[in-house]
Amino acid sequence: MEQTQPTQNGFLDRIRNHRLSATFLLLGVLSVGILAGSALTTTVHGKEQQINSADAAPLRIPPMTSTTNAFSTIAKQVGPAVVNINTESLPKQSTAPRRRTQRRGQSPDNDDPQQGDMQDFFNRFFGGQPGGGDGDDEDGGPSGGERRALGSGFIVDPRGYIITNNHVVDKADKIYVKLSSDSDNGLGRLARVIGTDKDTDIAVIKIDTAQALPTVKLGNSDSAQVGDWVLAIGSPFNLSQTVTAGIVSAKNRTIEDGPQSQFQRFIQTDASINPGNSGGPLVDMTGAVVGVNTAIYTQSSGSVGLGFAMPSNTVINVYNMLIAPEHKVVRGSIGIEFQPGVSSAVSRMYGFAKGGVLINRVTANGPAAKAGLQPQDVIVAIDDRQIKDGDDLVADIAPRHPGSTAKITYLRNGKQNTTTVTIGDRSKTVAEVAGNGDGDDNSPQKDDATQGKIGITVSAVPPALAKAQEISGGVLVTAVRPGSFADDLSPRGLDKGDIIVEINRHVVTDQAALTSIVNGLKSGDDVVFVVRNARARDKSNTFLGGTLP
């Protein structure tokens, strides 16, 4: 009994020792694992140990391969002749109060670019700035200080002649041109204006050079077709030599009303055009310039895919006149005014449904007046060539040299006549704007038989207004019923203040004459009104027509 107890105790001690050994072994293993993890972490993050990557193959820059396409070829070909244009306009002292004006499609004195849906090339979207110079306003605001404008251009003569937009250089005190080969430092080379034409927004400038400069190839814009690929090259946001691609979206596009629109028929493109592109080339897939990027349509100050370029054929004609000794564009004129877009009722009434131009007004002592043409005559041919419309007439007459003659075929009261007109200088045959009365009607208004059939109320024309408009009769429209026949005439309805002088080629002498004419009208008749606007300062006629329901 005395020997058994020690034996048992020894056995228990051995068990305890084994347990302790196992515990220490486990702790040792865990310690090694922790240390190994720490070492691994140090290796990955601390890079204290080197990993063998001898089996990794190094990358090599591959040899150049030919991936050139038509776009890149054209960009390399034309790019060296495209220039960046910067201008400076110094602050001007003025004693006149600043006016806030707004034209349709532009807000020259308004800092809010959302004022108009059409913000065109005379504004900030092509580098225009409110209230003055055109361009990105870098150093000065409307309150004063030096202003800088930004645009593009392209070299057409190795001696340094450059085509750009008039609005890029207009009113600039200094013009700087930077070639594609010039350093990014500095403003560039000083340029001077050779000539400008506001009607087409084209300008020619020149830089001095000791060596021949690269030039573009000019193309025939008539060959450009809707759907053709084109490239726009320029300096949008001062990012020179930027190339964008698109297609010709439309041709012969007009984007602005007024006299200038007679000479502004644009190529429309969806190539991205932005501020600074103005004056840069629009290039076809042969590398030829078919247009000068001039305007964009936008509602957000940026490109929305509607750009407009002046066709190269127009640009070439203007350029040739601007580099001539007179350095100005001379356009022919015969001294008439006409109304574009007359209704079919008007054309049927005056017998020119197949084409012609109805004369609204003849300039006193102008070429047409001297040749015997009168208001309401219809010009149907020039030198025996049929005239389609007013645009066709302008396109024919404008390029003719003042002093040359043209045979005019016209209709008067349905009878065809001919006369010879001596072409005049358009700048000298613009009609003088004469003053007129205020058009206020002080005579009592009364209902007229015309109210029920055509929807107007009229009164006698005040003597002062009749004298100002140089008429001896007529009736003054004092009210127009909304939705009536008179309200729906084409191209616009009758308005309060219109003076009706004729209906269907019958002179309206007074209210009784008007009533008699209207009573003779029946459903289905073409009805053509000859009217004058009492509040307009000119004395030209407007022709409004429709078919009586």
Length reported for the chain: 549
- Which has more pLDDT, 369 or 91? 369
The answer to whether position 400 is within a domain reads yes
The answer to whether position 96 is within a domain reads no
Instruction: List the CATH number of the domain containing 525.
Output: 2.30.42.10
Structure tokens belonging to residue 95: 């004693």
Q: Considering the chain, what is the average pLDDT of its residues? A: 79
Residues 80 and 200 in one domain: yes
456-468: pLDDT as tens digits? 988 888 888 888 8
The answer to whether position 326 is within a domain reads no
Gap between the Cα atoms of 241 and 214, Å rounded: 14
Structural domain of 414: 332-429
Residues 399 and 486 in one domain: no
The answer to whether position 98 is within a domain reads no
Tell which of 156, 182, 207 closes a domain. Answer: 207
Residue 131 has pLDDT above 80, yes or no: no
Residues 182 and 85 in one domain: yes
Residues 461 and 543 in one domain: yes
Residues 484 and 507 in one domain: yes
CB–CB of 116/107 below 8 Å?
A: yes
Q: Which amino acid belongs to residue 391?
A: D
Average pLDDT over residues 317-331: 93
Q: Which residues are catalytic?
A: 167, 201, 278
b/e for 126-161, b at 16 or more Cβ within 10 A?
Answer: bbbbbbbbbbbbeebeeeeeebbbbbbbbbbeeebb
The answer to whether position 15 is within a domain reads no
pLDDT at 435: 34
b/e for 44-75, b at 16 or more Cβ within 10 A?
Answer: eeeeeeeeeeeeeeeeeeeeeeeeeeeeeebb
Residues 186 and 87 in one domain: yes
211-234: pLDDT as tens digits? 999 999 999 999 999 999 999 999
The answer to whether position 439 is within a domain reads no
Q: Which residues contact 440 (CB under 8 A, 6 or more apart)?
A: 462
The answer to whether position 12 is within a domain reads no
Structure tokens belonging to residue 351: 């017998």
Structure tokens belonging to residue 135: 């361009």
Total domain count, the chain? 4
- Tell whether pTM > 0.75: no
Residues 297 and 355 in one domain: no
What are the CA-CA distances from residue 261 to residues 36, 68, 200, 252, 387 (Å)? 83, 40, 9, 11, 19
- Which has more pLDDT, 386 or 24? 386
The answer to whether position 56 is within a domain reads no
Tell which of 207, 228, 250 closes a domain. Answer: 207
Average pLDDT over residues 285-312: 84
Residues 179 and 82 in one domain: yes
Percent of the chain whose predicted confidence (pLDDT) is above 70: 73
